[in-house]
Amino acid sequence: MIVTYIYSNRKENWKSVDWRCITPARAINKTGKHKANLVDICSLGKCNGDFEDTCSRSDIIIIHKDLYGQVLSSIQHWKAHDKVVIADFDKAYDLTQMSLNEHEFWFSGVHRYENLDGDIITEEIDPNPLTQFKWGLRLVDAATVSSLRLVEDWQSFTSVYRVPNYIDLKRYLDIRSEKHEGINIGWDGAGCDVQGLVESGVLSALSRVCLQRLNVKVVVFNNESIYKALRVPAEQKGYFPVRNIDIGIAPLAGCYDKRISWERVLEYLVMKIPWAASEGPPYYAMRTYGWMVNDTQNAWERVLFDMVDHLSDYKLEASGEPYIFGISQGIEENIENVLSIYSMIINNALN
């Protein structure tokens, strides 16, 4: 099978592109039996002979996220040439909160972003991308998404299949936390909404924990707004990557977050980091391997105090069954599952 991933080049999408396109493409090529191509979406409309040749040789073309503009006419072009085309996405774009930067893009069609070359680009899209996204879903042969909630949300538009975010284990297995004093509690804040975190009670709980446990530092990464919103002393907060935390958290806020994928907790599992997460669908499959918390300040406080005060016990537990489950979700161990879904879509489309 030859698979071609067409990915978004917007810098803000890069983590999603990595999980949904780059990681599976690498695993597909490693099988030696199949081939995967990665193509920047900007190649569309540039009379690029290599791009056209790549698509013409593909058994399935996978468009990541950006179903708008010239992409829609390209879908029609490929399908007219008997190509199977699917959409792939991992967020609830129709539920994007107004406080998130992407809201203006999806609902208003105005977006200013930095591309991978560092250039600032302004787009004005009419009709808005969300409207065109729905049009695109009716054009493609199927869609693959990262969560069951997204399957339920979009199945009236096209056939939708869940392809979880499997993890590239090689990136994590050799990671060692830098030596530090005290206990770091933190998370990757990419895509998190500050107001939602306030309503969940987790920010207030973190303030309380820091007040009563002076050896605790709150660490956040990829979201300066959350860092600024943390009401803890300057010496008790930091802005650096997840690998340097002792306790990982995964707060959820609202309907949008209930449709995200599980990668935040999956990263904790393979790095043997004890964790606590908001009670919600993204992490149900992992609930026996960590703490699931009702979103109230008191609930978060109770769990975090217990984890801080008994951290050595939690670390020992994290190196057992949680770790084993985490590494079982490696991309190389599961790439045949992904390819079987692609094969099913191809068979359904061509028969």
Q: What is the mean pLDDT of residues 268-297?
A: 96
Query: Domain segments of the chain: what residues?
Result: 2-166+331-350, 170-327
DSSP run (H or E) holding 37? strand 35-40
Residue pLDDT, tens place only, 313-340 = 999 999 999 999 999 999 999 999 999 9
The segment with the largest mean pLDDT, out of 108-112, 170-174, 196-200, 257-261, is: 257-261
The segment with the largest mean pLDDT, out of 9-23, 37-51, 111-125, 149-163, is: 149-163
Q: Of the candidates 46, 47, 2, 56, which has an alpha carbon nearest to the alpha carbon of residue 25? A: 2
Residue pLDDT, tens place only, 239-249 = 988 888 999 99
Q: What is the mean pLDDT of residues 112-137?
A: 86
Distances (CA, A) of 146 to 83, 95, 162, 201: 23, 16, 6, 27
Sequence length of the chain is: 351
Longest dimension (CA), the chain: 66
d(CA 223, CA 65): 22
Q: Of the candidates 249, 244, 258, which has an alpha carbon nearest to the alpha carbon of residue 226? A: 249
pLDDT attached to residue 99: 79
Packing angle, helices 311-318 and 297-309, rounded to 10: 90
Residue pLDDT, tens place only, 7-31 = 988 777 889 999 999 999 999 999 9
d(CA 286, CA 266): 8
CB 65 within 8 A of CB 16: yes
| Per-residue confidence band for 97, with pLDDT thresholds at 50, 70 and 90 | confident
d(CA 90, CA 107): 18
2-166+331-350 — its CATH code?
3.40.50.2000
170-327 — its CATH code?
3.40.50.2000
CB 269 within 8 A of CB 323: yes
User: Collapsing DSSP states into helix, strand and coil, what is residue 123?
Assistant: strand
pLDDT attached to residue 311: 98
* Mean pLDDT for all residues in the chain: 93
d(CA 215, CA 256): 34
pLDDT attached to residue 45: 64
d(CA 99, CA 102): 9
pLDDT attached to residue 86: 98
**Which position has the higher pLDDT, 195 or 320?**
320
Bridge partner list, 126: none
Q: From start to end of 246-334, where are the E strands?
A: 247-250, 275-278, 291-293
pLDDT attached to residue 118: 76
pTM: 0.92
Q: What is the mean pLDDT of residues 163-173?
A: 94
Distances (CA, A) of 86 to 54, 63, 199: 16, 6, 37
2-166+331-350 matches 170-327 in fold:
yes
d(CA 187, CA 221): 7
Examine the pLDDT at 105 and tell me if it is beyond 70: yes
| Per-residue confidence band for 52, with pLDDT thresholds at 50, 70 and 90 | confident
Structure tokens of 333? 């161990």
CB 3 within 8 A of CB 36: yes
DSSP output for 174-216: T--PPP-SSEEEEEE-TT--HHHHHHHTHHHHHHHHHHH-TTE
Examine the pLDDT at 43 and tell me if it is beyond 90: no
* Lowest mean pLDDT across 34-38, 136-140, 193-197: 193-197
Structure tokens of 7? 């990915």
Label residue 188 exposed, middle or buried (CB < 10 Å: 0-12, 13-18, 19+): buried
Q: What are phi and psi of 98, to 5 degrees?
A: -60, -25
Examine the pLDDT at 116 and tell me if it is beyond 70: no
d(CA 283, CA 148): 11
For the chain, percent of residues with pLDDT exceeding 70: 98
d(CA 162, CA 269): 21
